[in-house]
């Protein structure tokens, strides 16, 4: 089993269909893409002398060559190591060293930084002489790989500590692909996926189902996320899906409210990777209609734990609408999901515990980190470190990362619940709740609040909101106002930095 066979077949089955587009311009069809990838693969093996199982790093901003290189690596039996292009030089160095990558491909904007890193590896810049030479010569056939061979080393976004490289196999990514079709969205030939989020992460993973289905990969010319550009590209390509972090959905919705663009070319927005609050979700439904789907996953089970599929997305007026929106949906058909308490005992619906996952999408382990692997993959289950609870209907509500749960006076308080309430205040733009060390209670609840521009928020108003909706002991004892929340490059709020801020200002 080799993921590259999907492109090989698409090159014949969807031969004349658009495969890659840069902005509004289609740059190749599936026949051409499959042919080019076979040539790149032959050069990875022949010219660069790489052997099956060698690692190839991609430190590149979003660009059409991203998809070419990923498939070329698999075609040649190699392991691809996509690296978030927004990391610092020291982080690039760590990932290159840790993965032992023998070659690193880079885009011109990053060439100087990557070129200055140390190590015995070739650095090849997109558009440079060596890259042009790699596009010449004869192609090779798809290398024979086993289902459990590693295809992708997925370095976790690392909101704490050193990033770990989740070993994703061909089997894992095939499973993710079938899971997408069954439990996220249908894809028809001629549809498209717009890569506005980093291709080193979720958006890049979604290249695979779209190749399998003969849909085009569209890369914005800006290489990133500009709402006006998105609106133009929806209209230009039609049938467009896009993976977006909740912060991106927020921005897209605000821009659409202001500009009232033509959204007829937008098919689906798949959001995930962080909490989408109910108020934001309702606003998004108001603007985008029934185009939303949600996934909950992590690098260790890529994009595949639970979902609110597009065809099952909650509709206004249906029973428990708000609860459904606050949930992360139901398990993908291809995985088992269960909740356990601190002793590992399975919990019934309604009780919160750590979320465990098993199935074909779950990683083989962490690259060169036996200790972390043994800790995370115990008894055949992936221990996600997330806390959640199922309801009677099988919908999962995610509370928080277990390390973010606040324990005050011996009782668990889930920050997400408090954040949902505070976001109901019209003047609150963003909020993040953490536990502050407290001599009497162990921890007390503290909320960092970002106000909408020009809004002044009274603490009593926030207090009143909480008192009306959640137990008194969950109400923040303290509020701090910030201009913005610290976030990592994938848009996740960095609670560790907020805790640090608290330490520094105490
Ligand atoms: P990463 O491995 O970088 O993709 O981060 C995965 C983590 O992001 C998960 O373990 C969750 O804590 C969080 N996450 C992913 N999807 C969702 C979602 N739909 N809602 C809330 N949090 C999410």
Atom of ligand 1 nearest to the CA of 157: 3
pLDDT higher than threshold 90 for residue 426: yes
157 CB within 6 A, ligand 1: yes
What pTM, to 2 d.p., does this model score? 0.89
Lowest-confidence pick of 244-258, 283-297, 363-377, 484-498: 484-498
Mean pLDDT for 419-430 is: 93
Distance 349 CA to ligand 1 centre (A): 21
- For residue 392, what pLDDT is reported? 95
Architecture of domain 4-332: 3-Layer(aba) Sandwich (3.40)
- For residue 414, what pLDDT is reported? 85
pLDDT tens per residue, range 139-192: 999 999 999 999 999 998 655 567 899 999 999 999 999 999 999 999 999 999
Q: β-strands 335-340, 353-359: how paired? A: antiparallel
Q: Give the residue ranges of DSSP H helices in 83-238.
A: 89-99, 108-115, 129-134, 170-183, 202-205, 207-212, 227-237
398 CB within 6 A, ligand 1: yes
Cα separation, 118 vs 136, in Å, equals: 29
Q: β-strands 411-413, 396-401: how paired? A: unpaired
Ligand 1 binding pocket mutation candidate from 159, 247, 298, 384 (most atoms within 8 A of CB)? 298
158 CB within 6 A, ligand 1: no
* C-alpha radius of gyration, the chain, whole number: 23
Distance 473 CA to ligand 1 centre (A): 27
pLDDT higher than threshold 70 for residue 367: yes
By CB atoms closer than 10 A (0-12, 13-18, 19+), residue 260 is exposed
- For residue 163, what pLDDT is reported? 87
Beta bridge pairs of residue 337: 357
Of 112, 42, 36, which is closest to residue 77 (Cα–Cα)? 42
The answer to whether the beta carbons of residues 55 and 153 sit under 8 Å apart is yes
CA dihedral 62, 68, 72, 75 (to 10 degrees): 120
203 CB within 6 A, ligand 1: no
Distance 116 CA to ligand 1 centre (A): 33
Residue in the block written with tokens 């099988």: 394
For residue 242, give every residue at least 6 positions away whose Cβ sits within 8 Å of its Cβ, in sequence order, or none: 193, 194, 196, 197, 230, 266, 268, 269, 270
Ligand 1 binding pocket mutation candidate from 296, 324, 492 (most atoms within 8 A of CB)? 296
Instruction: Specify the residue with its C-alpha closest to ligand 1, atom 23.
Output: 274
Cα separation, 265 vs 363, in Å, equals: 35
491 CB within 6 A, ligand 1: no
296 CB within 6 A, ligand 1: yes
Cα separation, 133 vs 435, in Å, equals: 56
pLDDT tens per residue, range 59-95: 999 999 999 999 999 999 999 999 999 888 988 999 9
Token digits of residue 171: 């089997």
Cα separation, 34 vs 7, in Å, equals: 6
For residue 358, give every residue at least 6 positions away whose Cβ sits within 8 Å of its Cβ, in sequence order, or none: 335, 336, 380, 381, 382
pLDDT higher than threshold 60 for residue 342: yes
Token digits of residue 189: 């030939």
pLDDT tens per residue, range 243-258: 998 889 989 999 999 9
- For residue 412, what pLDDT is reported? 81
Band of the pLDDT at 450, cuts 50, 70, 90? very high
294 CB within 6 A, ligand 1: yes
Instruction: Specify the residue with its C-alpha closest to ligand 1, atom 6.
Output: 298
Instruction: Specify the residue with its C-alpha closest to ligand 1, atom 9.
Output: 298
Band of the pLDDT at 506, cuts 50, 70, 90? low
272 CB within 6 A, ligand 1: yes
Instruction: Specify the residue with its C-alpha closest to ligand 1, atom 4.
Output: 298
298 CB within 6 A, ligand 1: yes
Mean pLDDT for 225-233 is: 97
DSSP 363: -
488 CB within 6 A, ligand 1: no
328 CB within 6 A, ligand 1: yes
84 CB within 6 A, ligand 1: no
Helix (H) or strand (E) holding 249: helix 246-259
Of 432, 337, 433, which is closest to residue 386 (Cα–Cα)? 337
Atom of ligand 1 nearest to the CA of 202: 4
273 CB within 6 A, ligand 1: yes
Q: Three-state SS for 497?
A: helix
- For residue 160, what pLDDT is reported? 53
Three-point CA angle 244, 337, 6, nearest 5°? 55
Distance 453 CA to ligand 1 centre (A): 28
Helix (H) or strand (E) holding 331: strand 330-331
> What value does the mean pLDDT of the chain take?
94
| Three-state SS annotation for 298-321 | ECCEEEEEEEECHHHCCCCCCCCH
Ligand 1 binding pocket mutation candidate from 376, 382, 398 (most atoms within 8 A of CB)? 398
Specify the CATH class of 406-504 in words.
Answer: alpha beta
Residue in the block written with tokens 């690596």: 73
Distance 169 CA to ligand 1 centre (A): 20
Residue in the block written with tokens 């089970």: 301
pLDDT higher than threshold 70 for residue 455: yes
Of 402, 321, 22, 27, which is closest to residue 195 (Cα–Cα)? 22
Distance 39 CA to ligand 1 centre (A): 37
- For residue 161, what pLDDT is reported? 63
299 CB within 6 A, ligand 1: yes
156 CB within 6 A, ligand 1: yes
DSSP letter for each residue of 47-107: TS---TT-EEEEE--S-HHHHHHHHHHHHTT-EEEE--TTS-HHHHHHHHHHHT-SEEEE-
Q: What distances in angstroms separate CA 474 from CA 187, 358, 471, 503, one per listed residue?
A: 43, 33, 6, 22
Atom of ligand 1 nearest to the CA of 306: 19
Q: Give the residue extent of every domain in the chain.
A: 4-332, 406-504
By CB atoms closer than 10 A (0-12, 13-18, 19+), residue 398 is buried
Q: Which of 33-42, 427-436, 463-472 has the highest mean pLDDT?
A: 33-42
386 CB within 6 A, ligand 1: yes
């Amino acid at each position: 089993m080799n993921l590259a066979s999907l492109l090989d077949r698409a090159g014949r089955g969807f031969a004349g269909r658009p495969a890659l587009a840069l902005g509004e311009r289609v740059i190749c069809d599936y026949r051409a893409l499959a042919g080019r990838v076979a040539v790149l693969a032959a050069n990875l093996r022949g010219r660069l002398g790489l052997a099956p199982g060698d690692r190839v790093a991609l430190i590149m901003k979003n660009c059409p060559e991203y998809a070419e290189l990923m498939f070329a690596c698999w075609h040649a039996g190699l392991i691809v190591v996509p690296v978030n292009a927004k990391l610092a030089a020291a982080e690039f160095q760590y990932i290159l060293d840790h993965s032992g990558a023998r070659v690193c491909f880079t885009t011109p904007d990053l060439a100087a930084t990557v070129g200055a890193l140390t190590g015995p590896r070739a650095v090849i810049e997109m558009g440079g002489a060596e890259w042009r030479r790699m596009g010449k010569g004869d192609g090779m056939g798809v290398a024979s790989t086993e289902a459990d061979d590693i295809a992708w080393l997925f370095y976790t976004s690392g909101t704490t500590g050193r990033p770990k490289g989740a070993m994703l196999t061909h089997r894992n990514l095939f499973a993710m692909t079938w899971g997408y079709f069954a439990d996220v969205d249908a894809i028809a030939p001629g549809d498209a996926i717009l890569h506005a989020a980093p291709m080193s992460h979720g958006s890049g993973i979604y290249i695979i189902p779209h190749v399998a289905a003969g849909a085009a990969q569209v890369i914005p010319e800006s290489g990133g996320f500009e709402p006006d550009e998105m609106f133009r590209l929806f209209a230009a390509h039609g049938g467009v899906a896009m993976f977006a972090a909740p912060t991106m959905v927020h921005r897209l919705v605000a821009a659409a409210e202001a500009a009232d663009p033509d959204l007829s070319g937008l098919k689906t927005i798949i959001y995930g990777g962080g909490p989408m609050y109910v108020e934001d979700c309702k606003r998004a439904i108001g603007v985008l209609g029934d185009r939303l789907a949600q996934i909950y996953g992590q690098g260790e089970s890529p994009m595949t734990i639970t979902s609110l599929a597009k065809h099952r997305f909650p509709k206004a007026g249906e029973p428990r609408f708000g609860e459904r929106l606050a949930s992360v949906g139901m398990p993908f058909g291809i995985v088992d999901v269960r909740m356990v308490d601190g002793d590992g005992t399975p919990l019934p619906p309604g009780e919160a515990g750590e979320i465990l996952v098993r199935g074909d999408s779950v990683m083989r382990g962490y690259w060169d980190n036996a200790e972390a692997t043994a800790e995370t993959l115990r008894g055949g289950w992936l221990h996600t470190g997330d806390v959640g609870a199922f309801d009677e209907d099988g919908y999962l509500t995610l509370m928080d990362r277990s390390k973010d749960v606040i324990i005050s006076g011996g009782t668990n308080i889930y920050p997400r619940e408090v954040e949902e309430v505070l976001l109901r205040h019209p003047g609150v733009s963003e909020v993040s709740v953490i536990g502050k060390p407290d001599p009497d209670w162990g921890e007390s609840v503290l909320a960092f609040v970002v106000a909408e521009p020009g809004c002044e928020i009274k603490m009593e108003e926030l207090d009143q909101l909480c008192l009306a909706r959640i137990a008194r002991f969950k109400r923040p004892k303290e509020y701090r106002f910030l201009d913005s929340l610290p976030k990592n490059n994938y848009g996740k709020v960095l609670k560790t930095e907020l805790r640090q801020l608290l330490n520094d200002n105490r």
